Amino acid sequence: MRRKKLIRSAVLIIFGIAALIAVYSWTHPERVFKGTTAITFTERGFQEPDMKIIVTNPADVQRILGTIQLAPKSACMCSHIQQATFQKPNEMVEASICGHCFSILGRKKDGWYPNVREYWMPAGFYAEFRRLALSRTNEHWHVGE
């Protein structure tokens, strides 16, 4: 009897911890970028090939990650041509971006992303991206005026 009670409380504690972790990662989505070693910005080309900016300098990567403060929003109908890819030692996190959306794509399944999470584009993150894009004077990135 005592043993059963113990097992029951252990199970409750484990569920409690799992629930806390779930709530924490839901309310702190920035955590998913922890451990990023490289950030790649991509713009899909139509006539011309895709453009890429790859950031690997650790100080730059940390500074850019520090600008990511995510607030949830609902999906909008705009179509994105830009993407930010966060390379971590064992996985890659992809975000589809525009001037006002930051959509974390989640895992690809059967050729699409069933678990996209929508957030507002953090102003600081877009400013970093825009600065990098505009520094490519021989490329034409679509990052506003």
For residue 20, the minimal CB distance to Zn ion (Å) is 32
DSSP 82: E
Burial class (CB in 10 A: 0-12, 13-18, 19+), 95: buried
CA distance 5 to 95: 45
Q: Is there binding between residue 77 and Zn ion (CB under 5 A)?
A: no
Nearest approach in angstroms of CB 81 to Zn ion is 10
Q: Does 1 bind Zn ion (CB under 5 A)?
A: no
Candidate residues 38, 53, 65, 98; the one interacting with Zn ion per rule CB under 5 A? 98
The closest of 67, 75, 5, 1 to 33, measured between CA atoms, is 67
Residues in 11-50 at the binding interface with Zn ion, rule: CB under 5 A:
none
Decide if residue 101 touches Zn ion (CB under 5 A).
yes
Phi, psi (rounded to 5 degrees) for 118: -100, 130
Query: Which part of the chain contacts Zn ion (CB under 5 A), choosing from 19-27, 42-50, 94-102, 135-143?
Result: 94-102
Residues contributing to the site for Zn ion (CB under 5 A)? 78, 98, 101
